[in-house]
Amino acid sequence: MQPLTILVVDDELAQRELLGGFLTKQGWSVALAAGGAEALAILRQTSVDLVLADYKMPEMNGIQLLMASQHLNPEVPVVLITAYGSIASAVEAMKAGAYDYLTKPIELEALVHLVHRVAERRQLLAEVRELRAQLRERVRFEGIIGESGQMQEVLSLVARVAPTPSTVLIRGESGTGKELIAKAIHYHSPRHDRPFLKVNISALPETLLESELFGHEKGAFTGATERRVGRFEAADGGTLFLDEIGDLPLGLQVKLLRVLQEREIERLGSHRPIAVDIRILAATHHDLERAVRERRFREDLYYRLNVFPIVLPPLRERREDLPLLIEFLLKKFATRLGKFIATVSREAMDVLLKYEYPGNVRELENLLERAIILARHDTIYSEDLPLHLRETPPEAKEAPETGHASLPEVLQAIERQMLLRALERHGGVQTRAAAELGISERVLRYKVHKHGLRAWLADGTPEPSESRSQGSHGRAATDGAAG
């Protein structure tokens, strides 16, 4: 720890040098000032940790210096010293914001104790600043863009489950942001200052996966030359995120079930149980209910994991979030790639709004990063986008494929297609689209919100030539993106 820098302010030279000399001998760095004006000049130019100022000085007294110092830097504590140790002056000093109050003659032991308290305070403030910076970075990284009703519901669920110890099962297609949701839950939980560890189940073979999760003892198997701590043990006190839990082999499903029930593990090659205090978050894009029926996933484990399910909608079902995501990702990748990109052209925005995004937000990220690399100007044009996006027919298919869908599902799909085509033909103008469909404008707005088509509206512009993408740039994005 760096030594404190103490500023001693006293109009009497002998008192100033006497106090400064004592503090220097204690190992602290000392600056001297003969009055308030000189003290403020030092405070403007030098980093000071403590001000010891005489209460009664000509031109600028201690209270005036205290108030001026607080204006420059309110975190610098000021201690006032006076020979007139009356209750009234002490109360005045403390009300003005003084850190403490000493009387002459100064008790040196009390002064040393006070400086040590200031040093502890400085250390605490530094730790608080560091933690706040880490939290801001985490929140920025974890932040999730989404003003659609579906994403607002997801964020509401995250806020309610995060403070609890409950197991959460996060479900959704690949690229929808399941890991971001898991991190948001952890960093808004009481375990936020403890480890957050992730294991991708599908990325490891079963033999390595068991050792990765549970650890092993030296000699447990060929090649086990030393003891290894597994992820369950390493995450003790924190959170373990099991991604792609649907790919967990049946043999390990039994062991995971025991961890969830008993809160203890055994390393490979050992029969000694080790207690672990962890929160399990799991994610999958698989149909776990079908896997249970086909006996590929244990039913008892499914119920242990599915305590609090969160389902992430695919990007094609929350298109009204697209302008926000595009705006945020443009800034993110343009900064990373060292290019200035101001906006997206109307034509390019139309292409991006119509695409289905089978890869969800992850695919959108890739498309925009590629477009920024190819862009020759400060605007993304349609020719900067991949050809398969530009060749997508502007209108949806004439009739949705029914497959095994129920009648209500087919009717909902047809309704969405009709809304989409009417909004396209009339440039997003609600009155004209509603008239064509034979419904009121109020009903149209309700159905547009229900089907996630708000991004196709022209924001009430009466002229059909106005682009539906025009209103998308006025919305503010949050500090992050799901994906």
Buried b (16+ CB within 10 A) or exposed e, 183-207: bbbbbbbebbebebebbebeeeeee
Residue showing tokens 């707005």:
445
Q: What is the mean pLDDT of residues 167-176?
A: 94
Alpha helices in 143-269 (DSSP H): 149-161, 178-187, 206-214, 231-234, 250-262
At residue 406, the pLDDT reads 67
Averaged pLDDT for residues 402-420: 72
In this predicted structure, the answer to whether residue 326 has a pLDDT above a threshold of 70 is yes
pLDDT at residue number 137? 46
Which of 47-51, 85-89, 218-222 has the largest mean confidence? 47-51
Question: Distance (Å, rounded) from C-alpha 403 to C-alpha 114?
Answer: 78
Angle at 135 between CA 133 and CA 136, to 5 degrees: 65
User: Which is higher by pLDDT, 91 or 274?
Assistant: 274
Of 5 and 431, the one with more pLDDT: 5
CATH top class, domain 407-474? mainly alpha
Which residue shows structure tokens 């140790």? 85
Specify the pLDDT at position 315.
Answer: 92
Bridge pairing between strands 215-216 and 228-229: antiparallel
The phi and psi torsions of 379 (rounded to 5 degrees) equal -130, 140
Choice between 376 and 446, residue whose per-residue pLDDT is larger: 376
5-127 and 146-313, same CATH topology: yes
In this predicted structure, what is the pLDDT of residue 89? Answer: 72
Report the share of the chain in percent with pLDDT over 70.
85
Lateral strand order in the sheet of 279-284: 196-200, 239-243, 279-284, 168-171, 308-311
Mean pLDDT over each residue of the chain, to the nearest integer = 83
CATH superfamily of 146-313: P-loop containing nucleotide triphosphate hydrolases (3.40.50.300)
Q: How far apart, in whole angstroms, are the C-alpha atoms of residue 483 and residue 174?
A: 9
Share of the chain above pLDDT 90, in %: 41
Condensed to tens digits (0 to 9), the pLDDT of residues 328-362 reads 899 889 888 998 888 899 889 988 998 889 899 99
| Pick among 3.40.50.2300, 3.20.190.10, 3.10.20.520, 3.90.1580.10: CATH of 5-127 | 3.40.50.2300
What is residue 464's predicted lDDT score, i.e. its pLDDT?
33
Q: Residues 15-72: pLDDT tens digits? A: 899 999 999 999 999 999 999 999 999 999 988 999 999 988 888 998 999 999 988 8
Mean pLDDT of 419-443: 80
Ranking 4-13, 91-100, 207-216, 312-321 by mean pLDDT, the lowest is 91-100
User: Of the ranges 153-162, 184-193, 457-466, which one carries the lowest mean pLDDT score?
Assistant: 457-466
Over 80: is that where the pLDDT of 11 sits?
Answer: yes
Instruction: Give the DSSP letter of residue 268.
Output: B
Interval 452-465 mean pLDDT: 55
pLDDT at residue 14 is higher than 80 = yes
Q: How far is CA 287 from the centre of its chain?
A: 29
* Displacement of CA 434 from its chain's centroid (Å): 40
Residue 434's pLDDT is what? 82
Please tell me the total number of residues recorded for the chain in this structure.
483
Indicate if the pLDDT at residue 466 is higher than 50: no
Domain edges within the chain = 5-127, 146-313, 316-390, 407-474
**316-390, which class in CATH?**
mainly alpha
pLDDT of residue 143: 53
| Residue 459: pLDDT band with limits 50, 70, 90 | low
